[in-house]
Amino acid sequence: MVTSLDGATQGSDGRSRTVSSPPDRVVLSLLRRLCDVVIAGAGTVRAERYGPVDRPIAVVSRSLRLDDNAPLFTEATHRTIVITVESAPADHRARLAAVADVILAGDEELDVAAAREALADRGLTRLLCEGGAHLLAHIVTAGALDDLCYTLTPRMVGGHSARLLETPLPLESDWSLGHLIEDGGTLLMRWMARRG
């Protein structure tokens, strides 16, 4: 996850790349190489215009408003995975099943544990969540986030922006700092969850 100095998770174009920095992009590339699967919410996939990468990508969506003709599906080097819920529109599920592996995890809301188990059944155990803020909130609330790689870049963008976590309910979670590296004013941090 990345924010500007004034806490913005995205710039005026709605993309996190706008608040990113070269050191942040190096770390993102490294993290992608170390994981088995990249996980992102559908809103993040649309905003960031995700395309294929050299790892499987799992897109989390309740509504399944995804373009099955997008390069993420049509040009993927690994079959894209879509994680959704039982209440998702059946016609959307059928349409996406033609171009992706569809996983059902939960009835109305995402069941994080069920999603992790379904990915593990496919041999995908090292998971990299790239956001967005609502998906990350689900994962933190479920106690399923082990590490938070967080970059603070030396820029301010003003305006309005989402927070790292977007949840309607208060959330308490304690973390300890594992690593802190500075590169050209960019602070690269790794936070580890404190388990009770």
Considering the entire predicted model, what is its pTM? 0.93
List the one residue out of 66, 29, 64, 32 whose CA is nearest residue 47: 66
List helix spans (H) across 35-103: 42-48, 71-74, 90-97
Torsion on CA atoms 135, 22, 185, 17, rounded to nearest 10: -40
Strand order in the sheet with 57-60: 101-104, 81-84, 57-60, 37-41, 127-129
Name the token pair of 36.
């088995």
pLDDT in tens, 137-191: 999 999 999 999 999 999 999 988 888 888 877 778 899 999 999 999 999 999 9
Long-range CB contacts for residues 87-94, cutoff 8 Å, separation at least 24? 87/62, 88/61, 88/62, 88/63, 88/64, 89/63, 89/64, 92/63, 92/64, 92/65, 92/66, 93/64
Name the token pair of 29.
């590339």
H or E element, residue 129: strand 127-129
Q: Residue 132: is the preceding peptide bond cis (ω within 30°)?
A: yes
What whole-number distance in Å separates Cα of residue 131 and Cα of residue 2? Answer: 10
pLDDT in tens, 47-99: 999 998 899 999 999 999 999 999 999 999 999 999 999 999 999 999 999 99
Q: Percentage of the chain with pLDDT > 90? A: 84
Sign of CA dihedral 173, 130, 40, 113: negative
> What's residue 173's pLDDT?
83
For the chain, domains (ranges, CATH) are 1-35+131-196 (3.40.430.10), 37-125 (3.40.430.10)
List the one residue out of 15, 23, 71, 17 whose CA is nearest residue 43: 15
Instruction: Answer whether 19's CB lies under 8 Å from 157's CB.
Output: yes
Q: Which residues contact 69 (CB under 8 A, 6 or more apart)?
A: none
